[in-house]
Amino acid sequence: MTPSQQSDVHIVIPAAGASSRLGVAKQNIAVHDKPLWRHTLDKALSLNCPVSLVTGCWSPNESIPQGVNLLHCPDWQQGLGNSIAFGVSNIVPPSKGYLILLIDQWRLTGKALYEFMQQWDGKQIQVAKDLKYTGPPVLFPAHFRQQLSTLSGTKGAQKLLHEQRCHVVAVKNARWDLDTPQDLTTMQELINSNKEKEEHYDLT
């Protein structure tokens, strides 16, 4: 993928949920001295692509970088699928590709995302794989815009991915997320370790 092709991809970050299993708004949890939403947003911006941040139950409590498309999803309570659909359907003009990046994939680095994008052929869905995990980040070609715009429910784009033949690419640390109190404890322990600090500052 050339730099011009990469800039034609629109990154959608669904960040509308209430973090009910975690018990606190995950978007505001500190990761390497930044709230999680900004940590994820900065990684997306490092790719030099247009970015949309979808809010709902939660909204940023500080200004966002210039150029980021901030979208408030009115039916965020219906699930991740609705947030993705709202984000994609409000991208005007339509993009040549869509990268769905979850707000809580906190161990992903900008370098890993860049390498993931470089392996995309622009023609088929591309999903990340990390050990037994397969899922986001996911790249969708432009012709999936209609299907993405009609997603609903709590499962996001899982049904669509199961129905399609996808290109699977290994992405280091894609499996790590932040859904439960145990996930939070694990995250904090890793961040406080020297190895995690070295990886973060080396691979941002």
Instruction: List, in order of start, the domains of the chain with CATH numbers.
Output: 3-203 (3.90.550.10)
Q: Which helix (H) or strand (E) holds 201?
A: helix 194-203
Please state whether the peptide bond connecting residue 74 to the residue before it is cis, i.e. omega within 30 degrees of 0: no
Given this model, what pLDDT does residue 202 score?
Answer: 45
d(CA 164, CA 87): 21
Quick check: 108 and 31 in contact, CB under 8 A? no
The rounded distance, in Å, linking the Cα atoms of 66 and 81 is 27
Burial 79-89 (b: 16+ CB within 10 A, else e): bbbbbbbbbbb
- pLDDT at residue 201, rounded to an integer: 46
160-188 pLDDT per residue, tens: 888 888 999 999 999 999 999 999 999 99
Dihedral through CA 64, CA 43, CA 156, CA 72, nearest 10? 10
CB of 150 closer than 8 Å to CB of 85 = yes
Residue keyed to tokens 């399609």:
164
pLDDT at 155 over 70: yes
pLDDT tens digits, residue range 100-135? 999 999 999 999 999 999 999 999 999 999 999 999
Residue 69 near residue 52 (C-beta atoms within 8 A): yes
Share of the chain above pLDDT 70, in %: 92
Sorted by sequence, the CB contacts under 8 Å of residue 187 that are 6+ apart come out as 29, 31, 106, 176, 178
Per-residue tokens: 40 = 């994820």
Task: Work out the pLDDT band at 63, boundaries 50, 70, 90.
Answer: confident
